[in-house]
Amino acid sequence: MASRQMIHEMEVRLNTFLRTLISHPTFGQHELLWEFILIQDMSQHQCIERSRRKLESRKEFQYEDFTLYGPADLESIEVFFDHARQETQKISSSLERLARIIGQLRNKYLNLAEAVKIFDERFSQVQFLRPIYDQVLKRDYVLSQSIQPLGFSVFSLEILAAASTSDSVLSALDRPVAMIQQLKQQDSILINSRALLAKLTAKSGWPLGMFEEKRERDINAVRDRIYHTQNEVERLSNDVKYAHISLASELGGFHTSQGAELHRLIQTFTQRMIEHEKERLNYLERLAATTRRFTASHHP
């Protein structure tokens, strides 16, 4: 039974994983995804190499349209990412809390099944019951409680998968926020370096003499620092711009698909539980009818 349950959970996890990939608003159309699904001899090295080439070509196209963000631009973008993180964090926390509650309900049902097993062991030891009466009650009552609600297990796994998707979005949102902080630091370094260069190149009425050579070295070092810092600022500005555009478009699709997926999960879970409770009710009605029949026949 344990091995069958493990296989069932693996099947649910695999189905949820593939459905999450295929239903993704943008990644679901990616050629590498369908090659991964359809091509049997697709190797990990091929996927990594093709992804690397696509990334390099995207960077070349991305850096052609250069945009330098100022403090006001960075502030508005940072507000956008902070708001997106807060909303996504709320979704992730709610899903994790829901998964815990579903797990607790599932444990309650398992405890009920264990209690029924103990009841069956004690019930069979009652001496004054007729054997046939004992057999009927034992059969119908145990059957009424032996229907395990698989809906809880499946629903819990699927909710955890949805929470994992939200966590992945949070991880994606953390990167541009970190890049914005790096960009602010590089801007500060650039401002200080330019101020230092202006100070070093300012004309002085005092003869420098032997310190002139050191002054030239310092000027060259500051100019090199400004050059590298400026390149880093340009790179980070483009990365922030691309992340802002791509994640803004991704978030809309994510919330739409996440809402549709949760609606489907809740609807499917509700249908499973209704079917499960109807089946239990059917067994309990049979048990009540059998009990009344035997009571009437043995106690006129």
Question: Of 134 and 180, which is predicted with more confidence?
Answer: 180
Residue 77: which pLDDT band, with cuts at 50, 70 and 90? confident
If one compares 247 and 68, the residue with the highest pLDDT of the two is 247
**Cβ atoms of residues 26 and 250 within 8 Å:** yes
Res 224: pLDDT: 92
Instruction: Please state which of the ranges 47-56, 96-105, 117-126, 271-280 shows the lowest mean pLDDT.
Output: 117-126
Q: Sorting pLDDT into bands at 50, 70 and 90, what band is 249?
A: confident
How far is Cα 134 from Cα 128, in angstroms, rounded to an integer?
10
Model pLDDT for residues 152-211, shown as the tens digit of each residue: 878 888 888 888 888 888 888 888 888 888 988 988 898 898 888 888 787 665 555 666
When pLDDT is averaged across residues 9-14 and rounded to a whole number, the result is 79
Alpha carbon of 279 to those of 31, 236, 272, 285, 286: distances in Å? 45, 61, 11, 10, 11
Tell me the pTM.
Answer: 0.69
Residue whose tokens read 């880093």: 232
Q: What's the pLDDT tens digit per position in 260-288?
A: 888 988 898 888 888 878 887 887 787 77
The SS3 call for residue 148 is coil
The residue with greater pLDDT, 128 or 226, is 226
Per residue in 104-143, is it b (16+ CB within 10 Å) or e — as a string?
eebeebeeeeeebeeeeeeeeeeeeeeeebeebbeebbbb
C-alpha–C-alpha distance, residues 109 and 149, integer Å: 8
- 129: confidence class by pLDDT, cuts 50, 70, 90: low
Output phi, psi for 129, to 5 deg: -80, 140
